[in-house]
Amino acid sequence: MSDLDEQFEQAQADVKTLSSKPSNDDLLTLYALFKQGTAGEASGAKKPGRFDLVGRAKYDAWTKVAGTSKDDAKARYVAEVDRLLGR
């Protein structure tokens, strides 16, 4: 396991320790970076219907990071968690 993978796993644990819930924008950013870092491009995922507002927002956030490599997405996820934790 690489150092980046270890940092990514630690960030996943650390994000659960936040004292307050992040904003919806922050949550969508975390979701998108997590999905891009673990699953890759959203192009293979089925686009949610127009009445699934939450699913659609998540999908749209994920497609905004299209083209980002898995490693870059993981690094950005770690940086985002660090920012939310005030590090």
- pLDDT tens by residue, 62-76: 999 999 999 999 999
Q: How far apart are CA 68 and CA 45, in angstroms?
A: 16
- Report how far apart the first and last C-alpha atoms of the chain are (Å, whole number): 24
Record the pTM.
Answer: 0.93
> What is the rounded average pLDDT for all residues in the chain?
95
Structure tokens belonging to residue 58: 């998540």
Q: How far apart are CA 39 and CA 33, in angstroms?
A: 10
The total domain count for the chain is: 1
Q: Does residue 1 carry a pLDDT above 80?
A: no
Q: How far apart are CA 23 and CA 14, in angstroms?
A: 17
**In which band, very low, low, confident or very high, does the pLDDT at 53 lie, cut at 50, 70 and 90?**
very high
Give the tens place of pLDDT for each residue, 4-28: 999 999 999 999 999 999 999 999 9
DSSP 8-state secondary structure symbol assigned to residue 21: P
**CATH at residue 66:** 1.20.80.10
Q: Which domain holds residue 56?
A: 3-14+21-85
